[in-house]
Amino acid sequence: MTRAEDLEKRLELLVKFGGSISTETHIHKLIELIADQVKTILACDRCTVFVIDRHTNELWSQVAQGMQHTEIRIPYGRGIAGHVAATGQVMNITDAYGDAHFNQDTDRLTGYRTQTILAVPLRNINGRIIGVFEVINKLAGAFNKDDEGILQLLGSIASSAIENAQLYESLSKSQLETIYRLAVTAEYRDQQDTAIHLRHISEYSALLAESVGLPQKEIENIRYASPLHDIGKVGIADAILLKPGKLTADEFEEMKKHTLYGAKILCNAESTLLQIACKIAGSHHEKYDGTGYPARLRGEQIPIYARIVSVVDVFDALCMPRVYKPKWEPGRALEYIKGESGKAFDPMVVDAFERVYDQVLKIYSLSDAKTTVIPGITREINRHNY
């Protein structure tokens, strides 16, 4: 094969690469998928994808050991991979055992003999190093400049997929489920249909985030963080929360504290997702014109997540029955939202809401039908969605 033919073939594989990895969100599977394809594209015997663990300052990866996958961890700065992560340099090594940086432990673990290594840093869109790509033992000869360029290109494609998967992993599925259950429990006292309301908040918020043009990662952030917006209601007494009529001014002052309680519950959390949930819980009753609570923030001072959730929250609260009011028709709720553009709500978010309104309505009618037709089991059905 000529160099031109070879590059053309690789280019073809490269195009496929981006598409096939972009949908895998489970990080271990993703790394396996990437390693497998990179191995083919680079025509080498192995590929190891190392990811930096910021909490422990280690690089971790998984290596095949017979049929089993074993996690390996390398301290930042150690070994070839650690050196590349620390310096950001590409390393092209023709004799691994003759290189001072090489660490033979992995070979000992897997019974493998590393000869040639090409290692490049994995950088995210901001240029920050998030890991290292290592390809090992090229099938013919040593790794060359073409290989270096291609591996770097593959790395830049893989980085966003890896970062995305890391977000999902930062909270495991069971943790997410626990959080949803907590949210449902917290609100269950005042709303029979809490599970539906929370799913609406989640789905509408994600639609809206997409419509205002937030990046994929932020869309997912808001999808998972938004249902926690009213978690602070756990701190509100039944006498107020469940009051079947209009609240007195004092009672409403007490009610307003659910934003502060919610922020307090969530703000010490380490995960990005819960940090965002904290912002939403704390600011979802702020108003664009500065007349909201608890801090009377205005305009862009209000986090975009909260500006989105406030529209969604009011829309869905209006469309759901409450102990203090019957439910509204969605069309009337939409008119109300539009009327509050520039007052309670960010006009940009209201415009985005109008654009996705048809999709919102579809999701709404789905659950509306469920509640009226089979009220007895609605709650169970919806629970499984969390």
Nearer to Fe ion, 72 or 281 (CB): 281
Beta-carbon contacts of 75 under 8 Å, excluding residues fewer than 6 positions away, are: 57, 58, 59, 82
Stretch that binds ligand C2E, among 24-32, 158-166, 214-222, 239-247 (CB under 6 A): 239-247
307-339 b/e (C-beta count within 10 Å ≥ 16 → b): bbbbbbbbbbbbbbeeeeeeebebeebbeebee
SS3 341: strand
44 interacts with ligand C2E by CB under 6 A: no
Nearest C-alpha neighbor of 255 from the set 222, 278, 285, 296: 285
Question: Other C-beta atoms within 10 Å of 382: how many?
Answer: 20
The nearer residue to ligand C2E, 61 or 194, going by C-beta atoms, is: 194
CB 119 within 8 A of CB 133: yes
3, 55, 108, 246: residue in contact with ligand SIN (rule CB under 6 A):
246
Site for ligand C2E in 314-373 (CB under 6 A): 314, 317-318, 322-325
The residue annotated as part of the active site, out of 138, 233, 279, 287, is: 233
Interface with ligand C2E (CB under 6 A), residue from 255, 277, 319, 333: 255
Q: Encode burial over 2-35: b for 16+ CB neighbours within 10 A, e otherwise.
A: eeeeeeeebeeebeebeeebeebeebeebbbbbb
60, 50 contact by CB (below 8 A): yes
Q: Is 173 a catalytic residue?
A: no
Residues numbered 313-352 forming contacts with ligand SIN, rule: CB under 6 A: 324-325
Retrieve residue 218's tokens: 């932020």
Asked if 102 is part of the footprint of ligand SIN (rule: CB under 6 A), the reply reads yes
| Contact window for Fe ion (CB under 5 A) among 58-66, 116-124, 150-158, 229-237 | 229-237
Q: Which does 103 bind (CB under 5 to 8 A by kind): ligand SIN, Fe ion, ligand C2E, none?
A: ligand SIN
Which residue's CB is nearer to ligand SIN, number 134 or number 286? 134
* Interaction of residue 246 with ligand C2E, rule CB under 6 A: yes
Burial 158-174 (b: 16+ CB within 10 A, else e): bbbbbbbbbbbeebeee
230 lies in the binding site for Fe ion (CB under 5 A): yes
Minimal distance in Å, beta carbon 238 to ligand C2E?
10
Q: Write phi, then psi, for 70 (nearest 5 degrees).
A: -115, 140
Q: Tell me how far, at minimum, the Cβ of 83 lies from ligand SIN, in Å.
A: 8
Counting contacts by CB under 6 A, is residue 307 touching ligand C2E? Answer: no
249 binds ligand C2E (CB under 6 A): no
Q: Does the footprint of ligand SIN cover residue 48 (CB under 6 A)? A: yes
Q: Which is nearer to Fe ion, 83 or 233 (CB)?
A: 233
Q: Three-state SS for 39?
A: helix
Which are the contacts of 100, defined by CB distance < 8 A and separation ≥ 6?
Answer: none
List active site positions: 233
Q: Which residues contact ligand SIN (rule: CB under 6 A)?
A: 48, 79-81, 102-103, 106, 114, 134, 246, 324-325
